[in-house]
Chain A
Amino acid sequence: MNNTETSTKKKYPRHTEKVMKGNFAAAEAAKICKAGFIPAYPITPQTTIVEELAEKVGSGEMDAAYVNMDSEHSVFAAAMGSALAGERVFTATSGQGLFYAHEVLHAIAHFRLPMVVCNVGRPSIPWNIWSDQSDSLSQRDTGWIQFYGESSQEVLDTIIQSYILSEKLEIPVFVVLDAFYQSHTSENVWIPDQDLVNEFLPPKQLKGTEINPDKPIAVGGLVQPEHYGKFNYDFWIDINRVENLTNQIGEDFYQKFGRKYQAVEAININKDTKIILVTISSITTTAKGVIQHHPEVGILKIRLFHPFPKNSILEALKDVANDTLLVAIERNFMGDKVGAMMQELREAFYGERYFKMIDVFTGQGGKDVPPITIEKIIYKAKNNPEDVIWIDME
Chain B
Amino acid sequence: MIEIRGHARGGQGMVTAFDILAKIFSKLGDYQVQSFPAFGVERTGAPIQAFLRIAKGEILNRSNVYHPHLVVVFDETLIDLVPVFDGLRKGGTVLLNTEKSINHFKKNADSIFTVPATKISIEKGLGSKSLPIVNASMIGAIMRLIDGDMEIAQKVISENVPAKPKANSEASVLAFENVVGFGESELKTKEFLDAHSAEKIDYNIEELFRKQKDKTEYKNPIWSQPMSLNKTGNWRVLTPEYDKKTAPCSSNCPAGTDVREFIKLAGEGKFHEAVEIIYEHNPFPAVCGRVCPHFCEQACNRSDFDESVNIGGIERFLGDKFSPEKPIAKPITKLQKIAVIGGGPAGLTAALRLRENGYNVTVFEALEKAGGMMRTGIPSFRLPNNALDSEIKRIEDAGVEILLNNKTKISEIEKDFDAIIVSVGSHIGSKMNIENEKFVVDGIKFLYDFKIKNDRNNVNKDDKVAIIGGGNTAIDVARTSLRLGAIPTIYYRRTENEMPAIAHEVEEALAEGIKIEFLTTPTGLQKNDDLLNLKMIKMELGEPDESGRRKPIVVDGSDYQLQVNHVIAAIGQKSDMFVFDNQQIKAKQGKIEFSSSKPIFSAGDMAWGGTVTEAIGSGNKVAAEVHAFLQKIPYQQETSVPNVVVPVDLNFTYYLKTPRIHNQITHKTDFTENFDEVVQGLSDEQILAEGSRCLHCGDCFSCGNCFNYCPDAAIHVDDNGRLRIDYDYCKGCGICVQECPCSAMTFEMKEAENE
Contact = CB atoms under 8 A, between A and B. Distances in A.
A1 B198 CA distance: 10
B209 A379 contact: yes
A208 B228 CA distance: 58
A185 B63 contact: no
Interface residues of B, number: 49
B196 A3 contact: yes
Residue from B197, B215, B218 whose CB has the most chain A CB atoms within 10 Å: B197
A393 B23 contact: no
A370 B215 CA distance: 21
Contacts of B218: 393-394
B24 to A, nearest CB: 9
Contacts of A194: none
A21 B16 CA distance: 11
A9 B30 contact: yes
Given A6-B56, A186-B33, A394 B212 contact: yes
A384 to B, nearest CB: 12
Interface string A369-391: 11111011001000000000000
Interface stretch (B34-42, B112-120, B388-396): B34-42
B57 A286 contact: no
Nearest to B208: A376
A219 B556 CA distance: 107
Contact of B32 (A9, A289, A366, A372): A9
Contact of A289 (B35, B36, B61, B64): B61
Given A186-B22, A186-B34, A289 B198 contact: yes
A2 B197 contact: yes
B19 interface: yes
Given A3-B197, A126-B226, A127-B226, A186 B203 contact: no
Nearest to A288: B60
Given A8-B58, A370-B63, A126 B22 contact: no
A8 to B, nearest CB: 4
Nearest to B196: A3
B104 to A, nearest CB: 31
Contacts of A369: 63
B55 interface: yes
B376 to A, nearest CB: 77
Contact of A4 (B195, B203, B221): B195
Contact of A188 (B32, B195, B209): B32
B107 interface: no
A358 B55 CA distance: 34
Given A130-B40, A181-B36, A285 B60 contact: yes
Contacts of B60: 285-286, 288-289, 292
B199 A1 contact: yes
B546 interface: no
A187 interface: yes
A366 B19 CA distance: 21
A1 B255 CA distance: 84
B205 A186 contact: no
B209 A180 contact: no
Interface in A111-141: 126-127, 129-130
Contacts of A182: 62
A380 B198 CA distance: 25
A376 B205 contact: yes
A369 B18 CA distance: 21
Contacts of A6: 56-57
A61 interface: no
B656 interface: no
Nearest to A289: B60
Contacts of B611: none
A19 interface: yes
A293 interface: yes
A373 B201 CA distance: 13
A133 to B, nearest CB: 15
Contacts of A21: 19
Residue from A4, A185, A186, A285 whose CB has the most chain B CB atoms within 10 Å: A186
B197 A184 contact: no
B23 A186 contact: yes
Contact of A181 (B62, B201, B208): B62
A19 B22 contact: yes
B184 to A, nearest CB: 20
Contact of B26 (A188, A283, A379): A188
B435 interface: no
B265 interface: no
B215 A394 contact: yes
Interface in A261-307: 282-283, 285-286, 288-289, 292-293
A5 interface: yes
Given A3-B196, A4-B197, A372-B208, A9 B57 contact: yes
Interface in A125-179: 126-127, 129-130
Contacts of A285: 59-62
Contacts of B18: 186
A282 B36 CA distance: 13
A7 B63 contact: no
A210 interface: no
B638 interface: no
A5 B26 contact: no
Nearest to B225: A126
Contacts of B19: 19, 21, 186
B40 A129 contact: yes
Contacts of B35: 185-187
A375 B215 contact: no
A17 interface: yes
Given A289-B60, A372-B203, A376-B209, A187 B195 contact: no
Given A19-B22, A185-B35, A188-B33, A5 B63 contact: no
A30 to B, nearest CB: 21
Contacts of A319: none
Contacts of A129: 40-41
A7 B33 CA distance: 13
A8 B18 CA distance: 24
Interface in B195-230: 195-201, 203, 205-206, 208-209, 212, 215, 218, 221, 223, 226
A103 interface: no
A238 B36 CA distance: 39
Nearest to A184: B36
A302 B63 CA distance: 20
Interface string B169-198: 000000000000000000000000111111
Given A5-B57, A282-B62, A376-B205, A184 B195 contact: no
Contacts of B560: none
A393 B201 CA distance: 22
A186 B36 contact: yes
A6 B197 CA distance: 9
Contacts of A127: 226
B223 A126 contact: yes
Contacts of A376: 205, 208-209
B66 interface: yes
Contacts of B64: 368, 370
A21 B18 CA distance: 12
Contacts of B208: 372, 376
A21 B35 CA distance: 9
Interface in B1-50: 1, 15, 18-19, 22-23, 26, 30-38, 40-41
B732 to A, nearest CB: 21
Given A186-B34, A187-B22, A188-B33, A286 B200 contact: no
B66 A370 contact: yes
What are the 7 tightest A-B residue pairs by CB atom distance, in nearest-first order? Answer: A289-B60, A5-B197, A370-B63, A185-B36, A126-B226, A8-B57, A379-B205
Given A4-B195, A9-B31, A188-B33, 15 more contacts: A3-B195, A3-B197, A7-B30, A9-B30, A9-B32, A126-B226, A129-B41, A185-B62, A187-B32, A283-B62, A285-B62, A288-B60, A293-B200, A368-B64, A376-B205
10 contacts: A3-B196, A4-B195, A4-B197, A7-B57, A8-B57, A9-B57, A186-B34, A186-B36, A371-B61, A379-B205
